[in-house]
Structure 1
Amino acid sequence: MSVAAAILAALVLVLLAPAGAHAGPAPRDTGSQPVDSYANAVRQSVWVTTGLDGDRDGKPDRVAVDIVRPSEPAAAGQKVPVIMDASPYYSCCGRGNESQLKTYDKSGNPVGFPLYYDNYFVPRGYAVVLVDLTGTDRSDGCVDVGGPSDIASAKAVIDWLNGRTTGYSTRTGSTTAAASWANGSVGMIGKSWDGTIANGVAATGVDGLRTVVDISGISSWYDYYFAQGAALYDGGPDALASEVESSAARSRCSAEQQALRTGAPRNGDWTSAWQQRDYYADASKVKASVFVAQGAQDLNVRTKNFGQWWDALAANGVPRKIWLSQTGHVDPFDYRRSAWVDTLHQWFDYYLMGVDNGVQNQPMADIERTPDHWTTDQAWPPSGTAATRLGLLPGTANGLGTLSAAAPPASGTERYTDNPAQSEDTWAAQADQATAAKVSFTTGVLTGDLRLSGGGTVTLTTTPSTTSAHLSAVLVDLGPATIRDYEAAGEGITTQSTRSCWGDSTSGDSACYLDTAADTETVQQTVFSRGWADLGHYDPALHGVALTAGKPYTITLQLASSDHVVPAGHRLALIVAGTDNGLIVAPSTKPAITIDLSRSSANLPLVGGLPALAHALRGGSDSPRAAGGPATAAPAGGPAAALPASQAARLR
């Protein structure tokens, strides 16, 4: 065991009174302890029937389930809860910062499990279950990219763990395997596609799923590929399926590939295929608690996904917790390791073992304000947050307007021409310069802090000069700061050469992982919230039309959720432009856009509402500064590499 792990274990023993891991309901403030042998754990594979026949071979598809569970509880006649990660990546691409794959011995028995969940939690009385989604690795069927088959294949395993469907000891045999060792309580966890599946299964309301830990997961696949009709990536679900499917699926799933292509057209229109992959619409069915961990600068699974999911869960009274980091698409194990493992341990103990440790009463939100400096909120967004309407006023020079609490002007216009070679970083760096490619609306210098928390909107009445147009709106903190470099290769972290250990190891499965540190950069401005749209999709029904040049159209762009403090001495800016290079695909034309300021405005989630803005502009000792000091800023280099990367690499 490493020094860090030894200190952590000692700290747990000091703070938590010793208790047997399988002694029934635990008294308050005790937690599961590493009393079971990881080396002697039971490792087995089971194939669970899904009731589907996606590959059309006339037999129900079976999904592969690899299990590692402590042997001691079963020997004592006790059952254990399950931590489950359902993924398409166990053989093609790997999991975690070190891209770990499942490994097997010569007989096909599981040996190595990716990530630390088994090493840490199995000795504490949990089973860890890793599921190959349909069409991947050792499972039957076809890849469905978040669709009904994906969700059904993971849900079927929860049904099996609760005795509601059948498992088999081999992929094709008839010998059944029962989950007699499981107590029926399941917690799903995973990053990216894995977290997405957890969200989708939760939205079915399946019995037995007690909690979900959603790390950078998708809540609507439409919003992974499009932003109000504007394409975010240059490929669709069919391309992603081809990167993760098994060789067997590749040979027999051409019809399913074609269905993905036709069901998810690249024109940005909403279809039934997207409806099938829209989980937040079914948030009313969620019975599980949800713990969201999200990089606020994630330009892969963009933050609209967590924001709308969170809001829908809140509206339905779902118990929930959130961590918001300054990173991009990064697992909290790699930016706040010790605190994450400790919090995750408490979370699973409470929701899966019934340990009354008080985790449900802890602050709802942990937010990273500066690299490695975190603040908390008892509720998120915090009490007093209000959607606040701000006017877009003309300035003293063309393209340089004012963002103000004043009512919209009776008349006035601003104009820009789409330049697909420029990105939000270029616009932000030139916020105070009159340039042809964007329009800036800025506040005066703040003399007190101003916090924005949640998602906002920007309503624009615009007249294009051509038959197609894309719009971007970004919120910018204008002022110097040191931030995590989320546009670098590590998306805000650097991987070190040292290792720390989190649990027990065997010769085939190490609990020791490469350490990481914050990768930081000093910058002069931060883009902290974004919204994009295709103007032809101005109708909320998301069915696009060809534009008429010279005709005005009104559209409301949705700004992705974030939490940011613009500190005293900085200014808040809203920049409106065309194609955001590297983040949306350019339209077929390069229109000039005229904005009618009398019919345009922003609706921003200000903590304290309009009075907070007025106070931040005039200053005062009680300005709404978040504990932890000023917010931070974004780097100047553009994210131009976002579009060309393979879809599987992006979504890992």
Structure 2
Amino acid sequence: MPKRAGRTRIPWTASVLAALAALLAVLAAPPGAASAAPAVRGESRPVYSYERAIRETVWVDTGIEHSAPEGEDRAVRVAVDIVRPREAAESGRRVPVIMDASPYYSCCGRGNESQKKTYDEHGRPVQFPLFYDNYFVPRGYAVALVDLAGTNRSDGCVDVGGRFDIRSAKAVVDWLGGRARGYSSRTGPQTATADWTTGAVGMIGKSWDGTIANGVAATGVEGLRTIVPIGAISSWYDYYFAQGAALYDGGPDSLARYVQSPEAQTNCQDVQAELADGAPRDGNWTDLWQERDYVRAAGRVRASVFAVHGMQDLNVRTQHLGQWWDALARNGVERKIWLTTAGHVDPFDVRREAWVSTLHHWFDHYLLGYDNGIERAPMADIERAPDQWSTDPLWPPRSTAATALHPAPGSGDGPGRLGTRPAPAGSSDSFTDDPATGESDWAASADRRTPAKAAFTTVPLARDLRLSGSSRVRLTVTPSTTSAHLTAVLVDLGPAVIRDYGAKGEGITTLTERTCWGSSTPGDSACYRRTVADTARVDRTVFSRGWADLGHWAGLDEQQPLVPGRPYTLTLGLAATDHVVPAGHRLALIVAGTDAGLLEPADTTPRLTVDLSRTTAELPLVGGPAAFARATAGGRPAAPDGGGRTVRTPTALVHLP
């Protein structure tokens, strides 16, 4: 029977209980947070006007002095563009701050649509890139976008993860907490205070921005309650090198020139020289890399961490996530994780509605103090296939255990075997480094012996086999020349539909229609182009990889020339992942030399002989050795599949914002 039109009446008791619940949520919040907008059912609501919001710029003193070419020392101030609720300021309510510190606001833009900051004729900020301001300011937050030192309207120099970078953002957190000085202009004496904030700060950002969040958290700065690093670096050495092997052309000095302001280009020749001299392309560990290694300082992190990463990110590889995550776990940091199957892509463009909702609840809890249960929700959300997600209460799962698998010789022209039984003494396999081939070529020929790689596969699996975390491969190899690079990859041999991470969008397609997330003004729209998964049908998937320079077998302090004919042992770390090899598929380990498009070649082109009896792969298997035994029980060797498609990696990589 149809319902009558008209107003639905809510029982008096229900309305009273709802109001009481909202009041209790406010009263339960920590000091300062209770002044923010009240929650309804533990969630902040858009009760403030975005159109009337206060928009201003403050220049914060970083505590660094830098000498210009003329010789005078000048205090370095960084520009902070702020948007915050006017009604909260007028009523004396103090609000927390969501902060994104970035070098990209004028050179390159942020997000899938490369949004840049814009200003009116008086220099007041108009457009704040990304949706954070549109969505969160009406809900009782301020949003602060920081120009890192040497970029856009900030003083100082770009030093790519060093003291200028980190103190740019840390000083702003200190200013918001009343511990640093801010000014109403770039050079003037008039001070600006942050008496409108609770001092609770959450940092967020993708790529370099998320890296800054990691670095600032590693200082232990007071007031930083949470960080949300997306595709972020945890150690800058590992961005440019993989165990001594060079990964990208150029170095941090060229990246600094890419983002710096015209003033910095003129005034920062000394910093440019320090970056060039401190980062030689030989892969040696230097003091410059020591300063930019945030993993070693993970014990200082007080903030909670919500980490997001694309498992096929070949720009900021998941090694950064894995080592950071493990260090945080060892130090008992509260944390949450999302893993997507895309490349270097923001979750806003992978799983938009769920992302905005989850981020909303995360900030409500850690910045406003609302008891909404987000910290008790499953720790991990993992994309298994395009738009198909699973959750885990703990990541990696508690039953995960490092499981030793051994490569062994095969028969005829087929691949070697991969199993739990070590190879007989004296067993070996050889390949010749071919810098023109890479992981997609090797995976495509996994079932055939080819000159450029050695491949080892399991039998077809009787059950699904899940790898969760970081792997490592201990190799003993004998080179024929004085230098050599090594690559190891894990491959799922079997058909699948995946996000096409090797395509231009790295797993997404951007459409023309838009969806809106918050309030808009004529100069700052809350509406963004919708995205969908860009998929590919493949016959095999490379899902983890690692690289190394054999000349650094003894450590990263110094590259050593190799003695041809002498065996060397090296443990090669593979990037973190969470991948299920389905029943009927096979797991493959491939060992090769230069990974084309990802690794710079060595000085020579060696032939490498792998001692299989002294080679072991330690894989993080959920269920450990017993799970592998069950998955491979009764299996028979597979017939070669004769080819098929593998997603090809880009032929060259550059840093992507």
**What's the TM-score once normalised by structure 2's chain length?**
0.92
Of the three residues 337, 340, 355, the one matched with 1:340 is: 355
Shift of 1:361: 0.4
Aligned to 1:535: 550
Q: Does 1:507 align with 2:522?
A: yes
CA contact (8 A) 1:399 1:435 kept: no
1:304 match? 319
The aligned amino acid for 2:648 is G
What's the counterpart of residue 9 of structure 2? none
Structure-1 residue corresponding to 2:81: 66
- 1:208 partner amino acid: G
2:605 paired residue among 562, 565, 590 = 590
User: 2:557, 2:415 → 1: CA distance?
Assistant: 31
Equivalent runs, 1:77-88 vs 2, <5 Å: 77-88=92-103
SS of match in other structure, 2:307: strand
Q: Which residue of 2 aligns with 1:200?
A: 215
Residue 252 of structure 1: how far off its partner (Å): 1.0
- Among candidates 49, 59, 64, match of residue 61 of structure 2: 49
Q: CA deviation at 1:78?
A: 1.4
1:269 counterpart SS class: coil
Deviations 1:75-133 (A, max 9, x none): 11111000000000000000000000000000100011000000000000000000000
Q: Which residue of 1 aligns with 2:150?
A: 135
Q: Is the 8 Å Cα contact of residues 38 and 119 (structure 1) preserved in structure 2?
A: yes
* Aligned partner (choices 208, 232, 241) of residue 247 of structure 2: 232
Query: Residue 3 of structure 1 corresponds to which residue in structure 2?
Result: none
1:619 Cα shift? 7.7
Aligned partner of residue 238 in structure 1, secondary structure: helix
Residue 319 of structure 1, aligned match among 334, 343, 348: 334
Is the aligned partner of 1:427 residue 2:449? no
User: What aligned pairs does 1:136-155 form with structure 2 within 5 A after superposition?
Assistant: 136-155=151-170
Residue segments in structure 1 that go unaligned for 5+ positions in a row: 1-12, 621-632
1:4 alignment partner in structure 2: none
- Whether the 8 Å contact between 1:387 and 1:603 is mirrored in structure 2 is yes
Map Cα deviations across residues 50-69 of structure 1 (whole Å, 9 max, x no partner).
11123544121000000000
Counterpart mapping for 1:253-264 below 5 A: 253-264=268-279
Structure 1 residue aligned with 2:44:
32
Select which of 635, 648, 657 maps to 1:638.
648
For 1:576, what is the secondary structure of its paired residue? strand
Distance 1:556 1:30 in 2: 49
**What is the aligned residue count?**
621
Match of 1:407 in 2: 422
Please say if 1:456 is aligned against 2:471: yes
Partner secondary structure for residue 65 of structure 2: coil
Within the candidate set 599, 615, 618, 1:603 is matched to 618
1:505-542 CA distance string (max 9 Å, x none)? 00110000000000000000000000100000112344
- Counterparts of 1:419 and 1:50, CA distance in 2: 49
Deviation at 1:414, TM superposition (A): 0.4
- Summarize the Cα distance change of 1:21–1:372 in structure 2 as closer, same or farther, 3 Å threshold: farther
Q: 2:600 and 2:174 mapped to 1: Cα distance?
A: 41
CA contact (8 A) 2:25 2:370 kept: no
Distance 2:28 2:135 in 1: 21
Matched residue type, 1:31: E
Corresponding letter in the other structure for 1:296: M
User: 2: distance between equivalents of 1:608 and 1:78?
Assistant: 51
Q: Is the 8 A contact 2:286 2:557 kept in 1?
A: no
The superposition leaves residues 253-288 of structure 1 with CA deviations (integer Å, 9 ceiling, x where unpaired) of 111101000011111000010000000110000000
| Partner in structure 1 of residue 202 of structure 2 | 187
The residue identity in structure 2 corresponding to 1:363 is: P
Q: Secondary structure at the match of 2:544?
A: strand
| CA deviation after TM superposition for structure 1 residue 641, in Å | 3.2
Alignment correspondent of 2:36? none
Q: Deviations over 1:212-250 (max 9, x none)?
A: 001000000000000001111011000000000000000
Which consecutive segments of 4 or more residues in structure 1 shift more than 6 A?
A: none
What amino acid is the match of 2:267?
R
Bigger Cα Rg: 2
SS in 1 for 2:435: coil
For the 8 Å contact 1:229–1:542, the answer to whether it is kept is no
Query: Hey, what's the Cα distance between the residues in 2 that align with 1:539 and 1:399?
Result: 34
Structure 1 CA distance for aligned equivalents of residues 74 and 23 of structure 2: 45
- What is residue 475 of structure 1 aligned with on the other side? 490
Q: Please, which runs of 5 or more residues in structure 2 have no aligned partner?
A: 1-14, 30-38, 636-642
- Taking a change above 3 Å as real, the CA distance of residues 222 and 396 of structure 1, as seen in their structure-2 partners, is same
Give the deviation of 1:23 after TM superposition.
4.7
Contact in 1 for aligned 2:444/2:644 (Cα 8 Å): no
Kindly indicate whether residue 115 of structure 2 is the aligned counterpart of residue 103 of structure 1.
Answer: no
- Counterpart secondary structure, 1:72: helix
SS in 2 for 1:60: strand
CA RMSD of the aligned region, Å? 1.8
CA contact (8 A) 2:220 2:301 kept: yes
Contact 1:582/1:638 (8 A) holds in 2:
no
The AA in structure 2 aligned to 1:104 is Y
Query: Taking structure 1 as reference, are residues 90 and 439 closer, same or farther at Cα in structure 2, changes over 3 Å only?
Result: same
Q: Which residue of 1 aligns with 2:398?
A: 383
Alpha-carbon distance in 2 for matches of 1:640, 1:351? 39
Q: Deviations over 1:476-499 (max 9, x none)?
A: 000000000000000000000100
Equivalent position amino acid for 1:41 in 2: A
2:51 maps to amino acid = A
User: What SS class does the counterpart of residue 51 from structure 1 fall into?
Assistant: strand
1: CA distance, partners of 2:284 / 2:50: 50
Residues 24 and 122 (structure 1), Cα distance of their counterparts in 2 relative to 1, 3 Å cut = farther
Q: How far 1:135 moved relative to its partner?
A: 0.3
